[in-house]
Structure 1
């Protein structure tokens, strides 16, 4: 039995879709805070169990009988470590054979402030003694392509990454990697640095958007504080604006670049190029 936490989220749903290509639905458990949000998975035969990272008793019940668990990192930045610790402790109580964790690229050395809670979670995993595998996911291409409509509206991609190179991949690529690890043997103790095969700067991203859309799109590099203010002015919550601005600064320092190609090796195909991700967004209108 494989339990996927955070299964109602974007990554979790994609991981389950990948697993369903290879294993019966009866061998999968979707662990979610709100079971009503995954009625479609129930219809496919996937068992759904209530699991709240803040409520340890729900996690103990969710992991009963699990051979493997995928801990998809919490979306609540600043609360991740205690929440992840609850999951790890519950997995240990349940005698889980393998716990896979979605961390961040080079969590031990990343310049991104976002990496601290991931580094702390990895240390907690080591201390727990649970057999585990760490999936250090790089940036999702969707983190940038979500702003394509805004770039077209204003004729500019804004950021504070300078000419830092970004080795992103589509969320579906990372989901395929998680599924591959969960289905493989002898994964305990492994650490994967996962990133896209190709890299680009935000100025190159702007050029790609412009070329595909037929509109003039440039890159506007701002100081971090100004970029943060622009994101807040655009309607983003301040914590998200902080996260994106700090991450761009980290990208300028090389934090989102990797050329090891472990992701494509793991999934057995090339990762999705940023040009394809842009095309999909434009095609969706």
Structure 2
């Protein structure tokens, strides 16, 4: 059995991938990477190989990657330094002799600078290109927008306000559950035939915020309405409410991308890979708002 290393082991996605992997492989065949040993102690206790490293520290990555065959590379979330961090990971993996990298990228139908979320996609595109010319085998997992982000986008007080307020127009997004993506990753890491492939991982149905408002209304018994302001009004309203600028940019960017139809791609690939349908928005919202 080849040895697999999971980066981002203390994050939600990394934890879920580890949980799914330990159903099918021995703890000794799994290594995990994190910056804080204490947070990984529970994995060390059960026999998982815990390694300490930081995307900002090339030498720590080079040491941590020794003896690893497959690397599950969770993209970083430090937007200012992510490009350099990703370069460190790819270069260290190559020097360490890693044979195959599985990378978590992002699925957006507009990969040009005209996209309102180009600040998200740009580093992914660069990293994909580095992987393709690295000489290592690669699998690029293009994740659609996490369904788990819906309560954040909608707002924690939506049942009180009765309003979803986002500048997404009538656009739709195929929100995809993080847990489904983790299950796919575990499958790809433990089966053959995925080398040098790109997978568009998305749900089999796309939803507008108007449809989401109706679903939450039906679940909660409260009337929820969707209002789509202009981007200017949205930015002004949230600024006056004291929301930090970086969050406004994030909420507005994803909303405008949805409005442009950049995140509405659907397919049945998740079902093909793991043998069950991807989780629907109805199922997810039922757990949150019932």
Match of 2:157? 150
Q: How far apart are 1:144 and its partner, in Å? A: 0.8
Q: How far apart are 1:212 and its partner, in Å? A: 0.3
Taking the aligned partners of 2:241 and 2:30, their CA distance within structure 1 comes to: 40
Taking the aligned partners of 2:287 and 2:256, their CA distance within structure 1 comes to: 27
Match of 2:16? 14
Residue 147 (structure 2) pairs with residue 141 (structure 1): yes
Question: SS of 2:211's equivalent?
Answer: helix
Residue 131 (structure 2) pairs with residue 131 (structure 1): no
Tell which deviates more after alignment, 237-246 or 96-105.
237-246
Q: Is the 8 A contact 2:32 2:48 kept in 1?
A: yes
Of 5, 14, 17, 2:7 maps to 5
Tell which deviates more after alignment, 70-79 or 102-111.
102-111
Change (3 A) 1:182 1:235: farther
Q: How far apart are 1:135 and its partner, in Å? A: 0.1
Q: How far apart are 1:141 and its partner, in Å? A: 0.6
Q: 1:196-275 residue pairs with structure 2 within 5 A? A: 196-231=203-238, 237-275=244-282
Deviations 1:186-245 (A, max 9, x none): 322100001011111011111111110111111111222433455556665432331221
Q: Is the 8 A contact 1:167 1:195 kept in 2?
A: yes
Q: How far apart are 1:55 and its partner, in Å? A: 0.3
The TM-score normalised by the length of structure 1 is: 0.93
Q: Which runs of 5+ in 2 are unaligned?
A: none
- Cα RMSD (Å): 1.8
Taking the aligned partners of 1:101 and 1:236, their CA distance within structure 2 comes to: 32
The TM-score normalised by the length of structure 2 is: 0.92
Q: Which runs of 5+ in 1 are unaligned?
A: none
Match of 1:195? 202
Question: SS of 1:161's equivalent?
Answer: coil
Residue 149 (structure 2) pairs with residue 177 (structure 1): no
Match of 1:96? 98
Q: How far apart are 1:149 and its partner, in Å? A: 3.1
Match of 1:46? 48
Q: Is the 8 A contact 1:67 1:98 kept in 2?
A: yes
Deviations 1:45-100 (A, max 9, x none): 22211110000111111111101001101011232111111000010011111001
Q: Is the 8 A contact 2:108 2:263 kept in 1?
A: no
Q: Is the 8 A contact 1:106 1:193 kept in 2?
A: no
Aligned residue pairs: how many?
283
Taking the aligned partners of 1:49 and 1:235, their CA distance within structure 2 comes to: 40
Change (3 A) 1:175 1:228: farther
